[in-house]
Every structure is written in structure tokens, then in C-alpha cells.
């Protein structure tokens, strides 16, 4: 990294550190398959999160696979 003086170098380092440590929402692609964490089970579906600090979203029962789940993960077909 290059800067014309030490002050500019310090500002650039601080900016880069801030960008690298700030959590950002990932770009999600429609129709893709994602691993979700189930945070609540409801009569009409499950509340899931896809990434840390995400507000839980309802995944309706009609969108869930009807097969019995043997593992701790849940298969969600293309929406």
C-alpha cells in the first residue's frame, strides 16, 4: 500500500480495517439452496436465519420437504 504521507497511510489502514471487520449482509441468489438455522418451530412453519444477525424469517410448511428428516439438517426445495 502506498500513500503520500504517514497521515494518509494511517487513514487508509483504518479504512481497510473497518471494511474488513464490518459484518455485511451476504448477497443471496433467488432459487439457490442455503443452509438455514431453525430458531423457532411454529404450527404454520419454522423461523429460520441464514446468517448471523439476520432477523428470523418464516418458512411455511408448504415450502418444507415432506420426507422424514433423519439428520439435524433440513432439506428445503427450490422456492
Q: What is the pLDDT of residues 5-29, one digit of tens each?
A: 999 999 999 998 888 877 777 788 8
CA distance 43 to 30: 26
The predicted model scores a pTM of 0.53
pLDDT, tens digit (0-9, with 9 covering 90-100), for 43-73: 888 899 988 888 999 988 888 776 655 555 5
Instruction: Pick left, alpha or beta for residue 56 (phi over 0 → left; psi -120 to 50 → alpha; otherwise beta).
Output: beta
C-alpha dihedral (26, 28, 34, 40), degrees to nearest 10: 80
The three three-digit cell numbers of residue 69, written as one number: 428428516
42-78 burial, b at 16+ Cβ within 10 Å, e below that, comes to eeebbbbeeeeeeeeeebeeeeeeeeeeeeeeeebee
Amino acid at each position: 500500500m502506498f500513500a503520500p504521507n504517514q497521515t494518509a497511510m494511517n487513514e487508509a489502514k483504518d479504512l481497510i480495517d473497518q471494511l474488513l471487520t464490518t459484518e455485511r449482509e451476504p448477497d443471496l441468489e433467488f432459487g439457490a439452496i442455503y443452509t438455514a438455522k431453525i430458531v423457532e418451530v411454529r404450527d404454520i412453519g419454522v423461523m429460520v436465519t441464514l446468517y448471523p444477525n439476520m432477523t428470523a424469517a418464516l418458512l411455511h410448511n408448504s415450502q418444507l420437504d415432506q420426507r422424514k428428516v433423519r439428520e439435524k439438517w433440513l432439506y428445503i426445495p427450490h422456492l
